[in-house]
């Protein structure tokens, strides 16, 4: 399977340990996070998404495994939404 770079953008509730929960999904799948960026949505001036945190993660993987990771991330109760914006 071909490995490509994916950018996953996740919106999370600002709850303790949520980043740990996300990192755990990558750890179990043996995924290497190439870069990760975390920012409160309030800081980017988005009033439609109050009290949410936006996490942008760059990973490499096949389309199907990244899709699985995306689904596992969305399964986390405090994760509101995950999008794969570049494949």
Summarize as ranges the residues that interact with another protein (CB under 8 A). 12-13, 16-17, 20-21, 24, 28, 64, 67-68, 71-72, 74-81
Closest approach of Cβ 61 to another protein, in Å? 14
Q: How far is the CB of 24 from another protein (least distance, A)?
A: 6
Alpha carbon distance 85, 6 (integer Å): 7
Dihedral angle over CA of 2, 79, 56, 41, nearest 10: 160
Classified as helix, coil or strand, 25 is: helix
Cβ 12 to another protein, closest distance in Å?
Answer: 7
Kindly report the backbone phi and psi dihedral angles of residue 42, in degrees, each rounded to the nearest multiple of 5, phi listed first: -60, -30
């Amino acid at each position: 399977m071909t490995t490509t770079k994916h950018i996953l953008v996740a919106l999370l509730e600002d709850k303790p340990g949520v980043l740990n929960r996300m990192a755990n999904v990558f750890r179990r799948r043996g995924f290497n996070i190439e870069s990760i960026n975390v920012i409160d949505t309030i800081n980017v001036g988005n009033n439609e998404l109050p009290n949410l945190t936006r996490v942008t993660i760059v990973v490499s993987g096949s389309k199907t495994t990244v899709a699985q990771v995306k689904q596992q991330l969305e399964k986390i109760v405090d994760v509101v939404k995950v999008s794969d914006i570049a494949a």
